[in-house]
Amino acid sequence: MKKIILIAAILLGALTNGQAQVINKNAAKRIGEVVKEGYQDVKGAIVQDTKPTGEHTVWDLYAAPKVGLNLSNLIGVDNNFKLGAVAGAYVEVFVAKNLAIDVEMQYSHQGGSGIYRNINTADDYGNPIIQKYGPYNVNLHYINTNYIVRWYPWVDLPWSFTTGVHAGYVISAHAKEKNGEDINLKNHIHSGDIALPLGVSYEWKQWQIEARYNLYFRKLARDTEAKDLLKNARNSMLEVTLGYRIQVL
């Protein structure tokens, strides 16, 4: 009797394992099909067969990541240009056939190099002198929000011109002397900055290359410690970016 029960248990276990394997195989096959279908859907949404022109349908909606490089310096103080990175994304909606509104969020690394710091002091006889220190490399890191108007002047050509408002918020600011001190400027410069962006872009398939110059209005320094180094300097930046446009609606 015990042998019969043992054999029955073994057969039942084998049958159960066999059914589980069949179920697992079917489930795995279905999961694979769903993943494949999902991949095709995502690919179809991202990779679009498009031929850009200068005319769109009102309320067309686009989203685009973008990366690039910028060339910056500080106007109002002797310095050299600095090469930095820029990256972000924007959402764009067309309010007319050839006019769109963009809202962008981006990171940018800018500043200037070869800057000297002038300190008012006195010599051994009490005579006022200016002590010169440097050169310093100024690194400014910003999170920017851009509100852009994009205009397509030609119906058959995917060229556009942009302008709007550029608002920046500094997240890190340092002045590093060559082989010397590192000054944290974050609490000594204005945390916000504002500029007028002026740009031109060209589109090919889903790619967009854009050159944009930001004309800044606000002086950086807000106290004497920053003015010793930056004086009345303002930002100045030219950026070139490559974006990938995805039509959402």
Report the Cα–Cα distance between both ends of the chain, in Å, rounded. Answer: 72
Nearby residues of 159 by Cβ (< 8 Å), 6 or more positions away: 54, 152, 153, 200, 201, 202
Tokens of 143: 């999170």
Tokens of 73: 């310096």
SS3 48: coil
Give the chain's mean pLDDT. Answer: 88
Amino acid at 93: V
In whole angstroms, give the CA distance from residue 150 to residue 104. 12
Secondary structure E strands in the chain: 61-75, 82-96, 99-122, 128-151, 159-177, 182-184, 192-204, 207-219, 234-244, 246-247
Q: Please report where in the chains the tokens 């854009």 appear, as a residue.
A: 210
Report residue 131's pLDDT band, with 50, 70 and 90 as the boundaries. confident
In whole angstroms, give the CA distance from residue 218 to residue 195. 8
Mean pLDDT, range 61-89, rounded to an integer:
97
The answer to whether 200 and 163 have CB atoms below 8 angstroms apart is: no
Greatest pairwise CA separation for the chain in angstroms: 117
Report residue 51's pLDDT band, with 50, 70 and 90 as the boundaries. confident
pLDDT (tens digit per residue) in 187-223: 999 999 999 999 999 999 999 999 999 999 999 999 9
| Cis previous bond, 158, omega within 30 | no
In whole angstroms, give the CA distance from residue 213 to residue 195. 9
In whole angstroms, give the CA distance from residue 58 to residue 131. 61
Fold of 55-247: Porin (2.40.160)
Tokens of 101: 């509104």
Position 23 pLDDT exceeds 60: no
Residue 180: the pLDDT is 85
SS3 152: coil
Model's pTM, two decimal places? 0.80
How many CA atoms lie within 13 Å of 208's alpha carbon, on the beta-carbon side?
31
Nearby residues of 150 by Cβ (< 8 Å), 6 or more positions away: 92, 99, 100, 101, 102, 160, 161, 162, 201
As a whole-number percent, the residues of the chain with pLDDT over 70 amount to: 82
